[in-house]
């Protein structure tokens, strides 16, 4: 049995990356996620596994280093916080277009602009709805515990390689900065160059051997007919991901009259709200999307048949609430509540909002 450790979410991301056999981390420090690169630098994983850790000159450089390493079939990742994530958008769109696997962690802080360094969930639109140009989707996982910050690294790489698509871990300053118990998986060996060649030689640039076609990594296709065909191919892949990879969990929904929908740290806060509400005799349940793309629309739609109203709780001016409304399709009232700009709502504030906006509204 592995030892139980007390760690920050950001540190857990870093340790989990080493253990997952990641080949390379490229990053640039920014609060509140700097502990990722700090931990990696202090831990010197090149001595443990041979993993490369490099502080790039900018976020743009870091994402393009990931692009390059991913093109060679390597497990590559980067992490940042909101303003830094914005800078990575061009690279992310290219990687999605070129169909390469990689993992990007966003520990969200308050915006817009440089904003604040305190927690926020206002990057939902940017991460879930694209952010970069073109028709693409990222696989988006939203951890709610320090343990999940660690577990989702391996899951994100698994999904990224399964579908040759970038995967994002969308976290926030609460989960990144808080400490909780965490238990890590045993160390996984990094793949050797020979293993990478064997597994990914249908697409990775591992050096052209006799008997196979050249593998070309590009997101450029100037013939519109071919670019349209490529887009059809991408859309078919996204459909497959949507059919197979939706993840969510529910709390106290069996007898619920009202529903909260929240992800990440807001889902933690809402669990306490459910407890407080039930102590007052109000039957509230919580649905927590674990994947934000693909989104658990069908599960929310089903619960809309049962409940009298739904409150989407997120630390933003109201972003995910649009997906809840699309899922519910007018069946019941859907409202949004959330503090934003770096402020974190308390369980009591969420309960007040539920009572005024949904129950009494």
Partner 1 sequence: MTEEIIIAGFGGQGVLSMGKILAYSGIMEDKEVSWMPSYGPEMRGGTANVAVIISDERINSPVLHNFDTAIILNQQSMDKFEESVNPGGVLLYDPNGIIHHPTRKDINIYTIEGANEASKLKSSKTFNMIVLGAFLKIKPIVKMENVLKGLKKSLPERHHHLIPMNEEAIKVGFEKIKEVQTV
Give the footprint of partner 1 on this chain (CB under 8 A).
4, 6, 31-32, 116-118, 173-174, 177-181, 265, 268-273, 275, 344-349
Q: Which is nearer to partner 1, 129 or 272 (CB)?
A: 272
Bridge partners (DSSP) listed for residue 171: 107
**Shortest spacing between CB 344 and partner 1, in angstroms:** 5
Q: Which is nearer to partner 1, 8 or 325 (CB)?
A: 8
Decide if 45 contacts 211 (C-beta within 8 A): no
**Shortest spacing between CB 136 and partner 1, in angstroms:** 34
Q: Which is nearer to partner 1, 282 or 332 (CB)?
A: 282
**Shortest spacing between CB 304 and partner 1, in angstroms:** 24
332: left (phi over 0), alpha (psi -120 to 50) or beta: beta
140 vs 6, 293, 342, CA distance in Å?
26, 5, 22
C-alpha–C-alpha distance, residues 307 and 237, integer Å: 34
- DSSP letter for each residue of 143-175: --SHHHHHHHHHHHHHHHHHHT-EEEEEEEHHH
Decide if 110 contacts 116 (C-beta within 8 A): yes
Q: Which is nearer to partner 1, 136 or 184 (CB)?
A: 184
3-class SS at 312?
strand
Q: Which is nearer to partner 1, 6 or 229 (CB)?
A: 6
**Shortest spacing between CB 274 and partner 1, in angstroms:** 8
**Shortest spacing between CB 268 and partner 1, in angstroms:** 5
**Shortest spacing between CB 260 and partner 1, in angstroms:** 12
CA 329 to chain CA centroid, Å, is: 25
Q: Which is nearer to partner 1, 191 or 343 (CB)?
A: 343
Query: How is residue 330 written in tokens?
Result: 């007018």
Beta strands in the chain (DSSP E): 5-8, 24-27, 52-55, 76-80, 102-108, 139-141, 166-172, 179-182, 248-251, 258-261, 284-289, 291-293, 309-313, 333-337
**Shortest spacing between CB 253 and partner 1, in angstroms:** 15
Query: How is residue 235 written in tokens?
Result: 């859309």
Q: Which is nearer to partner 1, 100 or 175 (CB)?
A: 175
């Amino acid at each position: 049995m592995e030892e139980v450790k007390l760690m920050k979410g950001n540190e857990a991301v870093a340790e989990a990356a080493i253990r997952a056999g990641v080949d390379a981390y490229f990053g640039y420090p920014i609060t509140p996620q700097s502990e990722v690169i700090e931990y990696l630098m202090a831990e010197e994983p090149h001595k443990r596994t041979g993993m490369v850790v490099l502080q790039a000159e900018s976020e743009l450089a870091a994402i393009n280093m990931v692009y390059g390493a991913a093109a060679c079939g390597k497990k590559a990742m980067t992490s940042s916080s909101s303003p830094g994530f914005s800078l990575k958008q061009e690279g992310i769109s290219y990687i999605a277009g070129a169909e390469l696997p990689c993992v990007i962690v966003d520990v969200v802080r308050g915006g817009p602009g440089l904003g604040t360094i305190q927690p926020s969930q206002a990057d939902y639109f940017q991460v879930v709805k694209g952010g970069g140009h073109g028709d693409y989707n990222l696989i988006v996982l939203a951890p709610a515990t320090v343990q999940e910050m660690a577990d989702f690294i391996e899951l994100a790489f698994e999904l990224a390689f399964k579908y040759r698509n970038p995967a994002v871990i969308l976290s926030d300053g609460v989960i990144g900065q808080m400490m909780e118990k965490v238990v890590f998986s045993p160390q996984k060996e990094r793949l050797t160059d020979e293993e990478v060649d064997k597994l990914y030689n249908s697409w990775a640039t591992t050096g052209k051997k006799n008997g196979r076609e050249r593998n070309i990594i590009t997101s450029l296709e100037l013939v519109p007919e071919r670019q349209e065909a490529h887009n059809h191919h991408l859309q078919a892949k996204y459909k497959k991901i949507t059919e197979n990879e939706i993840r969510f969990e529910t709390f106290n929904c069996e007898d619920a009259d009202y529903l909260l929908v929240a992800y990440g740290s807001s889902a933690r806060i809402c669990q306490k709200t459910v407890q407080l509400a039930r102590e007052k005799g109000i039957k509230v349940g919580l649905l927590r999307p674990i994947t934000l793309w693909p989104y658990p629309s069908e599960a929310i739609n089903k619960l809309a048949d049962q409940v009298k109203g739904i409150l989407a709780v997120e630390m933003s001016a109201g972003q995910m609430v649009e997906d809840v409304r699309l899922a519910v399709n007018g069946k019941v009232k859907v409202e949004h509540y959330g503090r934003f700009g770096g402020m974190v709502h308390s369980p009591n504030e969420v309960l007040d909002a539920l009572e005024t906006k949904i129950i009494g509204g």
